[in-house]
Amino acid sequence: MKTQSRQRFASITGVALVGVLALSACGSDNNAAAPGNGAANAADCPTGTLNGEGSSAQKNAIEQAISDFQATCSGATINYNPTGSGAGIKQFIAGQVNFAGSDSALKDVAKAGSPSIEQADADKTCGSPAWNLPMVTGPIAVAYNVKGVDKLIMTPSVTAKIFNGVITTWNDPAIAAINPGATLPAEAIKVFFRSDESGTTENFTKYLHAAAAADWAADPAKKWSGKGEGKEKSAGVANAVKSTEGGITYAEWSYAKDNKLGIAQIDNGAGPVELTGEAVGKAVAVATQSGTGNNIKLQLDYATKEAGAYPILLVTYEIVCSKAKDPAKATLVKAFLKSFAAADEQAKLQAIGYAPLPSAVQTKVASAIEALS
């Protein structure tokens, strides 16, 4: 009986093991339609694996960049998990990832209720200064789903009032006044917000706070301080608006585009501005830089009255160690970021809802990447 049961157990385990092994033997990572264009210089194509984590605002951009990078460098593997900016910074500080994606640069001051300073903690983990490298700008669309309204104009004040629940119906006089000619339904406005902590929320509330301080009193934060119904991640809110008549949310342009949502034109005081790559470029151009040396932080002017500039946007950063502990990883980080920041890659990203960095910033980022070691 004993041998019988042993045999049985052995055979079951055996079958299971063989199954797993068989699968691993025939699995393939090669999804290239044609063999990679092997013309790439070997020096630019290190091998190895990088793990990154963070902002979901840059998910679409970085996935494209990774796909393109890996197509050229088949020996390299980059993983990116869009768990949120705060999560990315936390895992970077905990030494769990090689780079973090974040919609806001590492902070130099301690957060309330916490003794730690992000920048200092990150420097400590790296054993060298951690650098913030702006990689791509993601315009934040005020996306809506109202039948029969193709064009909607919003001012900062009306936007703030909608998102903090002061204006509750679409045919409110305040909306009608700035949208002459639009047929607005008497429908309730359903506001969707990010239920997870998010850099998008932080940048959007920064905008509301800067451009409509009278109507938006709450301090900008990663946690939503307005009203509404919470959904997780950019994709979650965009998806919810898509399936909800009368819905409105703030989400990265790419998500609004993918969901084919209506995108409001923003009137900061110099006339309504449609969300285009060019309009975003104008807003980024007036941003000022802070940060020292190769640690590049951009200060956006959300209240800008520059004509034709789309003011609601975020700059998403890659946070890396300036001197990585593992030289092999350093070469890989450098090669990947170089390809991500390259002009042709940046132009490609515009097609999927991002806006390239202004050339002045691009040059600075390129020299910072060169300085990584």
Minimal distance, residue 302 CB to another protein, in Å? 21
Instruction: Give yes or no for a contact between 99 and 322, defined as CB atoms under 8 angstroms apart.
Output: no
371 forms part of the interface with another protein (CB under 8 A): no
Q: Would you count residue 145 as binding another protein (CB under 8 A)?
A: no
DSSP 43: G
**Count of residues binding another protein (CB under 8 A)?**
78
Q: How near is the Cβ of 90 to another protein at its closest, in Å?
A: 5
Q: Does 114 bind another protein (CB under 8 A)?
A: yes
- Is residue 124 a contact residue for another protein (CB under 8 A)? no
The CA distance from 330 to 322, in Å, is 9
Task: Give the burial class of 232: count Cβ atoms within 10 A of its Cβ; 0-12 exposed, 13-18 middle, 19 or more buried.
Answer: middle
Residues contacting 173, CB < 8 A, separation 6+: none
Q: Draw the binding track, 289-328, toward another protein (x: CB under 8 A; -: no contact).
A: ----------------------------------------
Between 67 and 290, name the residue whose CB sits nearer to another protein: 67
Q: Which is nearer to another protein, 61 or 361 (CB)?
A: 61
Task: Give 63 or 301: the residue with its C-beta nearer to another protein.
Answer: 63
The reply on whether position 344 binds another protein by CB under 8 A is: no
Report CA-CA distances (Å) from 268 to 144, 189, 210, 253, 307: 19, 22, 11, 18, 9
- Chain CA centroid to CA 87, Å: 13
Name the residue among 209, 261, 212, 271 with its Cα closest to residue 235: 261
Q: Is the CB of residue 144 less than 8 Å from the CB of residue 191?
A: no
Residue 27 binds another protein (CB under 8 A): yes
Does 119 bind another protein (CB under 8 A)? Our answer is no
The yes or no reply on residue 2 touching another protein (CB under 8 A) is yes
Q: According to CB under 8 A, which residues from 38 to 77 bind another protein?
A: 49, 51, 53, 60, 63-64, 66-67, 70-71, 77
Residue 161 engages another protein in binding (rule: CB under 8 A): no
List the x/- string, 185-214, binding to another protein by CB under 8 A: ---x-x--x-xxx-----------------
Query: Cα–Cα distances in Å, from 234 out to 103, 251, 325, 332?
Result: 13, 6, 33, 29
Dihedrals φ, ψ of 255, to 5°?
-70, -40
Q: Which residue in 10, 12, 328, 343 binds another protein (CB under 8 A)?
A: 12
C-alpha to C-alpha distance for 132 and 235, rounded to whole angstroms? 25
Contact set for another protein, span 231-250 (CB under 8 A): 231-233, 235-236, 238-240, 242-244
Strands (E) in 269-312, as ranges, are: 272-273, 288-290, 297-299
